[in-house]
Amino acid sequence: MDRLRGWPATLNEGPVGLRPLRLSDVRVWRETRLRNADWLRPWEPSNPETPLFRTGLGPYISMVGTLRREARQGLALPWVVTYEGRFAGQLTVGAIVWGSARSAQVGYWIDGALAGKGITPTALAMAVDHCFFTTGLHRLEANIRPENQASRRVVEKLGFREEGIRRRQLHIDGAWRDHICYALTVEDVPGGLLVQWRRARESAARGGSPVEEV
């Protein structure tokens, strides 16, 4: 597939937004990553293209170039997560496989200073709906370290199924780490995942017990 349907895409739900990654994000991306180094280190792949502690801008420029090329080839959807119009993190749908699979993997990170506002599940719900109902994917996976309780809560509250352990799947924080595979298919969200997430939050609010935010 030469182009992804509906890409580039800018999506919004209240104060939470998704927009394509830009070269002009380089300085805020670098500042956010450095400020969140301790917050992100336990969950970050040991990838020389996106180190946490490099002071130069080259790693970001290289990453954006790679992701843009993959987007043109129909292999990735790289987004910036925004909150009230400001840079808040990153969400990438990657490893897209077409043909009889039509599957992909999703990864995300959020500025620790903005955790607890429901930004991540809202952004992920928007991305899932775009992938299923605009791009035409059938299955999305999120592979998460068992110890990463905050990230696991995001996918569990959105209804992703836990499908088992992938032993020593990725090199993370200096060692090969197990990951739990969570997945959704388009049949799981016939009315859209964002609608389900809105209803869950509204129902919890009416009951006086707000949904725990991440």
pLDDT computed for residue 150 by the predictor? 92
User: ∠ at Cα 178 (175, 184), nearest 5°?
Assistant: 135
Counting beta carbons within 10 angstroms of the beta carbon of residue 207, is it exposed (0 to 12), middle (13 to 18) or buried (19 or more)? exposed
Q: Cis omega before residue 121 (within 30°)?
A: no
- What are the structural domains of the chain? 11-204 (3.40.630.30)
* Cα–Cα dist 112/78, whole Å: 20
pLDDT computed for residue 49 by the predictor? 47
User: ∠ at Cα 45 (114, 154), nearest 5°?
Assistant: 40
Q: Which three-class secondary structure string do you get for 69-98?
A: HHHHCCCCEEEEEEECCEEEEEEEEEEEEC
Question: Mean per-residue pLDDT for 60-87?
Answer: 94
**Amino acid at residue number 108:** Y
- Looking at the predicted structure, is the pLDDT value of residue 60 above 90? no
pLDDT computed for residue 172 by the predictor? 86
pLDDT computed for residue 130 by the predictor? 98
Q: Which residue has the higher pLDDT, 56 or 23?
A: 23
Q: What is the pLDDT of residues 149-203, one digit of tens each?
A: 999 999 999 999 999 999 999 888 888 999 999 999 999 999 999 999 999 988 8
**Amino acid at residue number 153:** R
Lowest mean pLDDT among 2-6, 61-65, 180-184: 2-6
> Does the model's pTM come out above 0.85?
yes
pLDDT computed for residue 138 by the predictor? 98
Query: Which range, 45-49, 81-85, 168-172, has the best average confidence (pLDDT)?
Result: 81-85
Question: Mean per-residue pLDDT for 31-42?
Answer: 88
- Looking at the predicted structure, is the pLDDT value of residue 69 above 60? yes
- Looking at the predicted structure, is the pLDDT value of residue 214 above 90? no
- Looking at the predicted structure, is the pLDDT value of residue 213 above 90? no
Q: For 11, phi and psi rounded to 5 degrees?
A: -125, 150
pLDDT computed for residue 52 by the predictor? 46
Beta strands in 33-154, from DSSP E residues, in sequence order: 77-83, 86-97, 103-110, 139-144
- Taking the chain, what is the end-to-end CA distance rounded to the nearest angstrom? 34
